[in-house]
Amino acid sequence: MSNNDAMNSEIRFLEEVEEKLKTRITEINALFLEGEKQIESMHDYYWENYTEMDEYGYENYDNQQALLGEVNANNERLMKKQRLKKMIDSPYFGRVDFLFEGEEESESFYIGIGNFAPKAGMTPLIYDWRAPVSGLFYDYDRGQASYEAPGGTIEGEITSKWQYKIKKGKMVYAFESDTKIDDEILKQELGSNGDVQLKNIVRTIQKEQNEIIRNVKDKVLVIQGAAGSGKTSVALHRIAYLLYHDRKNLKASDILILSPNSVFADYISHILPELGEENIQEMSFDLFAYRELKGIVSDCEDRYDYLEKLIHFPEMGIRESYLKKQSAGFVGEMEGFLAVLEDQLMDFKPVKIRTLEKTEEELIHLFYFKFQDIPILARMDAVMEYLVDEYETLYNRNLPEDEVEEIREKFNRMYVTRDIYKIYNWFLEDNGYETLAKIPYENRKLQYEDVFPVLYLKYRMLGGTRHKHIKHLVIDEMQDYSYLQYVVLSRLFSCRMTILGDRAQTLDSQMQDVLTFLPKIFGRTIRKIIMNKSYRNTIEIAEYAAKFTGEKDLEYLERHGKPVTEKTFDSDEELLNELIREADAGMDKYETAAVLTETMDEAYTMTRMLSNRGLPVNCIDRDSSTFEKGVTVTTFYMAKGLEFDQVFGVFPKRENPMTGQAKYICATRALHELYMYERA
Ligand SMILES: Nc1ncnc2c1ncn2[C@@H]1O[C@H](COP(=O)(O)OP(=O)(O)OP(=O)(O)O)[C@@H](O)[C@H]1O
């Protein structure tokens, strides 16, 4: 076939697909309206007849179930319609022609964001990018290939591969390529301007990324990936893949992502809906801890408070103290303390439940032997319930609720204290650490270094709730969680996990490689994958950033841009003039720019100075929840995970131990242009 013929046949196929998509949407619309009518008439029937329904409620129940079934079916129709409407805009982006082993003619498989068959049960015209056969598109060039189908491995040969760009239903380009995902297309995608949200990458998923996305074997998958290597993108596409392949057992509400902050959560929030899935829950671990510690302390510092202190007071030993309290050694000391705590904590006294008397020895026996497996602060309750039960069985009568409560209090008074804050202070004192201020609940604010130790103590003493309903946990920025935080996480979640991060981006003066201790915590179920190729930055920016880390073996996509500008200014005036000039020039070509500082105070000052000079900026702090088009001012640590077309790093000339890491994180946020400014 000549090139022209091939193109014409592609355009005819596109037109055919669009026609069929429209017909299917019309059919679904009709079914939806029919469903609405059904629902309405079921409602009418119910209201007319519910007084006469059978007394046991069977008929009522059946009616409710039928109604629910119809409502769900209509919701599904609505979702399907939305998906198909999106597909009209761009129905597919790739095609593989595959010659099955033993066959004579190859079959064409078009690949898009969803499956599409003109009628239910018919062979699809388009295959979802997550379908088994679509793996061929991402994993192979022309030649021998295979894919995993539910029934086993399918062997054959790829005879041709095509890539398309279809926009608003029109073919922008279609070309046959014999390489995997053409680098030129990837460069085009990356060379375009940054969105205010992370993009979906289905068109250009790379082979090594695809391997991670389609991994269903490993219980705990740990991805160490360079800045901009696509870790977050891959983790989200993996979720979409898992949801597609295990629809029966896995729902979006069964998945939780631990993310650094709300801005980041917003930044990634549209990807799953775009891929036709519901969004998933997101939570910051610090916020979770804060909520869990209500009742023990009235306030807690978070990671950002800790970082600010670290930058402002590098000489005060804050880091050393934090690291100590997050270490395996410290957990060991807490365990040692817990092993001997009972003697210090308990003050047994004989008790009476009406006429049933129990001596101190009997209570001690129950407490130390019968119920020894129950966490210590929950154990007295178990002893009490056991004895109330004994009384009620003996006298064949139930005790009133309020009396049981009085008895419970009497038993609880056998604890010297139930205040975990006080108990933590005992531990600190016993082990030679500085103790916390002995103050009432309302005034207690935990320093960040104590937040997770106290939470650990709480779970060990009261027992923690296992979050059994969560079937998959995603931990982004894994390098920023401490040993102790992982120990707490492993107590809370026993599900499958995708853990991803970059040791070079640790929010500390030194890198932390969590892979040195994760296997100890999660066992041998861990699989580690390294992603070395960076996609975000131009070569100029990536090479500049690499100077700060000493990480080797990094690969870059050959995308060039403007050289990095490094400048020192004698006055704010000069710095602002230059920054505004470059940002103004950028506004013509780009969508997003960021001015990144080391501390929040510096970010507020920059916001004020830039606004005063008429540059509209949006300041992101820990209370922000979205990031917008235009110029953003924030700290390097709030900008983690985000990216901007232009980045202006504004740092004081005086360095502190965090400066290297801060500059690295700042530099790797830039897609096209990077300016590193210093104020004298
Ligand atoms: N296969 C791909 N095709 C197109 N774009 C990609 C691909 N992989 C990654 N990217 C792009 O590279 C950029 C970085 O991706 P992402 O934010 O997922 O990386 P990351 O490893 O989480 O980065 P960081 O750790 O630096 O925050 C994004 O713009 C993303 O769209």
* Euclidean distance between CA atoms 501 and 506, whole angstroms: 9
What are the beta bridge partners of residue 568?
678
Quick: pLDDT tens for 51-69.
776 767 777 777 788 888 8
* Tokens describing residue 115: 């499956």
Nearest alpha carbon, ligand 1 atom 3 = 204
User: Are residues 380 and 261 both part of a single domain?
Assistant: no
Helices and strands, number each (H, E), in the chain: 23, 24
Give the pLDDT of residue 63: 78
CATH number of the domain at 596, please. Answer: 3.40.50.300
Give the pLDDT of residue 555: 85
Does residue 235 fall inside a structural domain?
yes
* Euclidean distance between CA atoms 563 and 31, whole angstroms: 58
Question: Per-residue pLDDT for 564 more than 90?
Answer: yes
Sign of CA dihedral 550, 551, 556, 562: negative
Average pLDDT, the chain: 90
Nearest alpha carbon, ligand 1 atom 23 = 228
Contacts for 497 with CB less than 8 Å, ≥ 6 apart: 219, 220, 221, 472, 473, 474, 475, 522
Does residue 256 fall inside a structural domain?
yes
Sign of CA dihedral 244, 249, 251, 253: negative
Does residue 41 fall inside a structural domain?
yes
Does residue 298 fall inside a structural domain?
no
User: Are residues 522 and 617 both part of a single domain?
Assistant: no
Nearest alpha carbon, ligand 1 atom 18 = 230
Which residues does ligand 1 sit against, CB inside 6 Å?
Answer: 186, 189-190, 198-199, 201, 204-206, 209, 225, 227-233, 502, 535-536, 641, 643, 668
Distance 632 CA to ligand 1 centre (A): 20
Does residue 512 fall inside a structural domain?
yes
User: Which class for 437: exposed (0-12), middle (13-18), buried (19 or more C-beta within 10 A)?
Assistant: exposed
User: Are residues 407 and 485 both part of a single domain?
Assistant: no
Q: Which pLDDT band, with edges at 50, 70 and 90, does 3 fall under?
A: low
Q: Print the SS3 string covering 362-407.
A: HHHHHHHHHCCCCCHHHHHHHHHHHHHHHHHHHHCCCCCHHHHHHH
Q: Which pLDDT band, with edges at 50, 70 and 90, does 221 fall under?
A: very high
Question: Per-residue pLDDT for 118 more than 90?
Answer: no
Distance 377 CA to ligand 1 centre (A): 47
More confident call, 500 vs 190:
500
Say what percent of the chain tops pLDDT 90.
Answer: 60
More confident call, 508 vs 445:
445
Give the pLDDT of residue 178: 64
pTM value is 0.89
Contacts for 530 with CB less than 8 Å, ≥ 6 apart: 223, 224, 225
Number of the ligand 1 atom closest to the C-alpha atom of 236? 18
Question: Per-residue pLDDT for 180 more than 60?
Answer: no
Question: Per-residue pLDDT for 643 more than 90?
Answer: yes
Distance 642 CA to ligand 1 centre (A): 10
Give the pLDDT of residue 275: 86
Buried-state track 506-526, b at ≥16 Cβ within 10 A, e below 16 = bbbbebbebbebbeebbeeeb
Number of the ligand 1 atom closest to the C-alpha atom of 209? 1
User: Are residues 628 and 546 both part of a single domain?
Assistant: yes
Give the pLDDT of residue 297: 96
Give the pLDDT mean for 238-258: 92
Quick: pLDDT tens for 565-576.
999 999 999 999
Three-state DSSP class for 568? strand
User: Are residues 661 and 591 both part of a single domain?
Assistant: yes
Question: Per-residue pLDDT for 7 more than 80?
Answer: no
User: Are residues 579 and 620 both part of a single domain?
Assistant: yes
Three-state DSSP class for 164? strand
Q: Which pLDDT band, with edges at 50, 70 and 90, does 672 fall under?
A: very high
User: Are residues 474 and 503 both part of a single domain?
Assistant: yes
Q: Which pLDDT band, with edges at 50, 70 and 90, does 655 fall under?
A: confident
Question: Per-residue pLDDT for 170 more than 80?
Answer: yes
Distance 597 CA to ligand 1 centre (A): 23
Does residue 284 fall inside a structural domain?
yes
Q: Which pLDDT band, with edges at 50, 70 and 90, does 375 fall under?
A: very high
Number of the ligand 1 atom closest to the C-alpha atom of 501? 25
**Cα-based angle 515, 520, 522 (whole degrees, multiple of 5):** 85
Q: In terms of residue numbers, what domain contains 131?
A: 3-179
Nearest alpha carbon, ligand 1 atom 10 = 230
Nearest alpha carbon, ligand 1 atom 14 = 228
* Euclidean distance between CA atoms 52 and 212, whole angstroms: 58
User: Are residues 158 and 204 both part of a single domain?
Assistant: no
User: Are residues 196 and 159 both part of a single domain?
Assistant: no
Number of the ligand 1 atom closest to the C-alpha atom of 531? 21
Q: Which pLDDT band, with edges at 50, 70 and 90, does 147 fall under?
A: very high
Contacts for 423 with CB less than 8 Å, ≥ 6 apart: 341, 345, 417, 457, 461
Distance 349 CA to ligand 1 centre (A): 63
* Continuous H helices in 465-570: 483-492, 518-522, 539-546
Question: Per-residue pLDDT for 181 more than 60?
Answer: no
How high is the ipTM of this complex? 0.99
User: Are residues 42 and 142 both part of a single domain?
Assistant: yes
Number of domains present in the structure of the chain? 4
Nearest alpha carbon, ligand 1 atom 16 = 230
